[in-house]
A and B are shown apart, each in its own frame.
Chain A
Amino acid sequence: KNEVEQSPQNLTAQEGEFITINCSYSVGISALHWLQQHPGGGIVSLFMLSSGKKKHGRLIATINIQEKHSSLHITASHPRDSAVYICAVQGGNKLVFGAGTILRVKS
């Protein structure tokens, strides 16, 4: 079993839909990261959180430490949100990554 599991692996949505990507982990962590990777592009850090909830624009990230679970929500999705979203957990100094969720938002 992988230390970090993401679901779904693939997600197709219509523009405007509310999107949720889930991340479960099995190890103790100091923080959890959500990353975005566009096709052929670099990786951008969206959120780093260790408790509660963070919001940035249309993106919201939550974490439940007791349940070892985090969610990334995208409100009012747009085709430019199409990308791979990666959950990564930090224990100490290194990141352990989930396999990523491929999101496609159709107009």
Chain B
Amino acid sequence: GAGVSQSPSNKVTEKGKDVELRCDPISGHTALYWYRQSLGQGLEFLIYFQGNSAPDKSGLPSDRFSAERTGGSVSTLTIQRTQQEDSAVYLCASSLVSGGGPQHFGDGTRLSIL
């Protein structure tokens, strides 16, 4: 597709379960970003990829959160042992090069932890 694709669009799971969120960036975009939008808290940075490496993981809230990117393309964000405070919209964005050019956002995955 032409834009950033995220799946699933919605995910409801029980507390304590692991979840995987997927992001398929725009073809050719080398930089990929994960953000979180919690109710009443606005957007916050989680992690940034340049190619397959993650030079900046400073926004990951705890060691339950991890992310990887393979083939310089698809990325997965994994949350282990989910907690209710993990409920949020998880957004992925990509840009042609790191630090340059606008970021193109996916529609997000709405994660609800019961």
Contacts and interface: CB of A to CB of B under 8 A. Distances in A.
B90 interface: no
Contacts of B93: 43
Contacts, number: 50
Interface in A78-107: 86, 88, 90, 92-100
Interface string A4-37: 0000000000000000000000000010010100
Interface stretch (B11-19, B21-29, B70-78, B105-113): B105-113
A59 interface: no
Contacts of B56: 92-94
B110 to A, nearest CB: 10
Contact of A98 (B42, B58, B59, B99): B42
A43 B42 contact: no
B7 interface: no
The B interface is mostly helix, strand or loop, or mixed, namely strand
Interface residues of A, number: 21
A93 B98 contact: yes
Task: Kindly state the interface size class of chain B when it binds its partner.
Answer: 20 to 34
A92 B56 CA distance: 10
B45 A95 contact: yes
A93 B99 contact: yes
Contacts of A35: 105
Contact of B104 (A45, A88, A94): A45
Given A94-B56, A97-B44, A42 B108 contact: yes
Contacts of B58: 94
Given A48-B101, A90-B99, A96-B45, 4 more contacts: A41-B107, A42-B105, A42-B106, A95-B33
Interface of A: 30, 33, 35, 41-45, 48, 86, 88, 90, 92-100
